[in-house]
Amino acid sequence: MGENARVAADYKGDYQELVDEISELLGAPATLENRDFELLAFGAYDSDDELDAAALDPVRTRSILTRRSTAGVRTWFEGFGITRATGPVRIPPSPEAGVYRGRICLPVRHRGVVVGYVWLLEGEPGPTDAQLDAAMRVAGRIGALLADEAEAGAGLSRELRAVLTAEGGWQRDMAVAELRTALGPRADGPHTLICVAPWPSPDPDDAPSARSVPHAAALCTIPWGTAAQSLAVLVRLRSTAVGAPALAAAGRVLEEAEGAWGALGVRGGTETATTTAGGGPGPSGSGAGARGASGKGAGRTSGTEAGGASGKGTGGTSGKGVRGAVPRGAGAAVAAAVAAGVAGAGRYTGGPGTSGFGGPAAGIGDPRVGLAELGAVWQEARAAAQAALAERRLGPVAQWRGIGPYRLLTALPPESAQDPAAGPLLSPAHRELARTAEVYLDCAGQAGRTASELGIHRQTLYYRLNRVEQLTGLDLDDGEDRLLLHMALKRARL
């Protein structure tokens, strides 16, 4: 347990010292990346001459600035056999790939397994074999350190998972105590939790390292519904009043989720991506929450009629949802907005009718000081993620404090039945009436706004509302009946 207390941040100085040692041995700046090509440390250029920007290597520059390499760069380098190599590998320049200068790759191994790479730009006259042998011995020390860090991270993942899956009472208290010991003194500071769902794999090796997620202390996978997975991220905060670190972390993990779903070939309307935690039929009435190939759905559409083969806005995220195209760049957009200090970062800004979101979402719980209430924070984060999947205007990152009625609706047990009054409205034959009723109630009963939102004439609206009253037996002029129907329609999205 004591070993786990040495979390990722504590290794940074050791990595930098070892990279500086290799740079000194070889007389050139080296960089260190883990096996996922995430930058861990780099040596500085040591020259009294003015820096010539034209001589910089774009791949190395991007790696340092973004702290990771692209998938294309990774594939290109792996094509030279670096994952199997036991000694230095020389890689020639390839301007068409953006690699303007040759490389020497020193594979970092531990017990026969590659855990990282040390990179060196080729120069004249280049290092001797004796220098490279000495550098490989240092790389071996780096390998042991990387393995030690991975073991500590795996321990933190186990402790976090134990806290979030404990039933409560003494079991959760014991799990929290173990996690507190593992985190050390930082356990007493402010924290929050992020839930990203659906996550594409239950395998811990497929999750990003905590080091690669800004402000992350630990992360783990947690079941989502009956068959899917979510990713939990424990985030350290400077203050409970400052939410930017959590938004930055959520944006980064969403990037990973989007990329993973894309690599699995999830495309618009053709793959079943998840079973949500709530279950049950959506306002479309089908219980499938189907999204068309256009990727449009979840919530009402502006100015068009829903349903049919077009795949436009047929309503909620229900029990088993066929997702639209996974958006590439939503996570990056969130991270960029947070970095720029944009108000409302994490929200889609195009309104309820904006298309293009059918992939993962992230929820953030309210921050707490210490770890004692992590169970409650996790429930809030899960609820916020459910809300973002149900109401795309809340996503791709939703905070618990901003999900409105879903704070109550997500607390209902998944197996709870729909109110019988709304049942007929949720059948497939009446999906357009359900959508009309929801938009009308979202617009606070204002007929003009509702007709404009739906793109229909007022008389058409009045006819549909009369049909809604006939089907449900509810009076839309009665406040309690309107509240009941509104909540029933929102509940059906989960």
> What are the tens digits of pLDDT across the range 98-107?
777 888 999 9
Q: Is 30 helix (H, G, I), strand (E, B) or coil?
A: strand
Q: Would you say the C-alpha torsion 199, 205, 211, 212 has a positive or negative sign?
A: negative
- pLDDT tens for 164-202 read 998 878 888 999 998 998 888 888 999 999 999 999 888
pLDDT value at residue 387: 93
How many other CB atoms sit within 10 Å of the CB of residue 59? 21
| Mean pLDDT estimate for the chain | 76
Pick the residue with more confidence: 258 or 340? 258
pLDDT value at residue 58: 64
Per-residue pLDDT band for 84 (boundaries 50, 70, 90) equals very high
Please say if the pLDDT value at position 131 is more than 60.
yes
Spatial contact of 420 and 409, defined as CB atoms under 8 Å apart: no
pLDDT value at residue 308: 34
Residue 436 to residues 137, 313, 354: CA-CA distances in angstroms? 70, 12, 18
Distance CA 417, CA 482 (A): 19
Please say if the pLDDT value at position 70 is more than 90.
no
- pLDDT tens for 300-338 read 333 333 333 333 333 333 333 333 333 445 555 555 454
Instruction: Dig out the tokens for 385 from the structure.
Output: 């993620």
Q: Which of 131, 134, 102 is nearest to 119 (CA)?
A: 102
Distance CA 329, CA 312 (A): 22
Please say if the pLDDT value at position 92 is more than 70.
yes
Spatial contact of 471 and 425, defined as CB atoms under 8 Å apart: yes
* H or E, element range at 272: strand 272-275
Distance CA 265, CA 328 (A): 13
- Average confidence (pLDDT) over 19-23: 91
- Model-level pTM? 0.63
* H or E, element range at 31: strand 30-34
Distance CA 476, CA 450 (A): 14
